[in-house]
Chains A and B, each alone.
Chain A
Amino acid sequence: MSNWIPLWVHKLGSPPTFYRFAGIVMPWMMALALLSGALGLYGGLVLAPADYQQGDAYRIIFIHVPCAWMSMFIYAVMGVSSVIALVWRIKLAEVVAMESAPIGAAFTFITLVTGSLWGKPMWGTWWTWDARLTSELVLLFLYLGVIGLYHAFEDRRQGARAAAFLAIIGIINVPIVHFSVDWWNTLHQGSTVKLFGPSKIAWAMLWPLLTMTLATKFYYIASLFRRVRTDLLALEGGKDWVREIARGEDDR
């Protein structure tokens, strides 16, 4: 491969090295997730004032919006690693793509249900076939499709390649979810938090929201690493480094 990629990247791509690296990083990420999660929830549920229109019902935002962002972010990660998996046939990229899918599905599911719980008191309905809600539901089905296709094959790596292909096709849905509130007249409100330009939200509400966003990012890294480690053990069961781990944990 090309010389411009530093050697440690190649090394990190090898299953035993990544297994060890992920094992060191994972607990720290989980600790950061719990810490920032506790801080964000305290800020959102206790410190932030009630909304002048929505009262306390708006407090669902502190989980709904971070989870919605994660549902798209994880899909992007899954899409990029699927491309890497198909083009360069890197085993680790396949594993990262396939183990991202259940986490993404979990966040998408939380987004849909918390949105429903927020929609009932505010819109008067649990569900409506509005562009934002429908495209988010399609996102959930894409995740489930990737998971299902992956497990439909006897050969894990063959399944991963087929599912990676589906994941790449599904990327088209991510911008549709994001821009649906601008492209169509939706019941769902537009973006309140903007990367460029001033956000339409008070600082007392914004900082817990951003802290929760950070918490879900840390959580994703922790969960992904935990899943990738497990998957590597299953995929490399015949190799010496896995046998050593299996023997080492015999006492339990």
Chain B
Amino acid sequence: MNMHALQVFLAMGGYAAYVWPAYALFFIVLIADTLDPVLRRRRVLRELRTRLARQSARQGRSSGVTPTPTTSP
């Protein structure tokens, strides 16, 4: 595609100000929709690991084993 054809394509027959924002919104919203569960998954697993670590530390104490020193919240 040469420069002129590209310019014609981007101009969208004078409707560039309507067509391209529509397409941009389409992608932005769907990318946000994709990222949301990815970030939520990380948070859920992180919280779960913290809970598990606390649990095993408590079990370690009650069974008389010296627990590894952790920074308690």
Chain A CB within 8 A of B73 CB? no
What residue in chain B is nearest A119 (Cβ atoms)? B18
Chain A CB within 8 A of B21 CB? yes
Q: Apart from A102-B33, A246-B49, list 6 A-B contacts with CB within 8 A.
A: A63-B26, A67-B26, A117-B21, A230-B40, A243-B52, A246-B45
What residue in chain B is nearest A57 (Cβ atoms)? B15
- Do B13 and A55 touch (CB < 8 A)? yes
Tell me the interface secondary structure of chain B in the complex. helix
Q: Fill in one digit per residue for B20-45: 1 if any A CB lies within 8 Å of its CB, else 0.
A: 01110110011011101110110011
Chain B CB within 8 A of A226 CB? yes
Residues of B within 8 A of A229 (CB): 37, 41
Given contacts A233-B45, A243-B48, contact A226 B18 (CB under 8 A): no
- Do A117 and B9 touch (CB < 8 A)? no
What residue in chain A is nearest B8 (Cβ atoms)? A56
- Do B25 and A121 touch (CB < 8 A)? no
Closest 5 CB pairs of A and B: A56-B13, A57-B15, A114-B22, A56-B12, A55-B13
Residue from the set B21, B25, B32, B37 with the largest chain A CB neighbour count within 10 Å: B37
Chain A CB within 8 A of B14 CB? yes
- Do B41 and A233 touch (CB < 8 A)? yes
C-alpha gap A223/B29 in the complex (Å) = 12
Q: Fill in one digit per residue for A108-129: 1 if any B CB lies within 8 Å of its CB, else 0.
A: 0110011001101100000000
- Do A249 and B21 touch (CB < 8 A)? no
Residues of A within 8 A of B44 (CB): 230, 233-234, 237
A: contact size bracket: 35 or more
Q: Fill in one digit per residue for A48-67: 1 if any B CB lies within 8 Å of its CB, else 0.
A: 00100001110110011001
- Do B15 and A55 touch (CB < 8 A)? yes
Chain B CB within 8 A of A1 CB? no
Given contacts A242-B48, A250-B49, contact A64 B22 (CB under 8 A): yes
- Do A110 and B48 touch (CB < 8 A)? no
- Do A246 and B25 touch (CB < 8 A)? no
Q: Fill in one digit per residue for A229-252: 1 if any B CB lies within 8 Å of its CB, else 0.
A: 110011001000011011101100
- Do B45 and A223 touch (CB < 8 A)? no
- CB-contact partner of A106 in B12, B19, B29, B48, under 8 A: B29
- CB-contact partner of A110 in B14, B26, B51, under 8 A: B26
C-alpha gap A113/B26 in the complex (Å) = 9
- CB-contact partner of B33 in A45, A59, A103, A247, under 8 A: A103
What residue in chain A is nearest B33 (Cβ atoms)? A106
Chain B CB within 8 A of A219 CB? yes
A120 to chain B, nearest CB (A): 6
C-alpha gap A50/B18 in the complex (Å) = 15
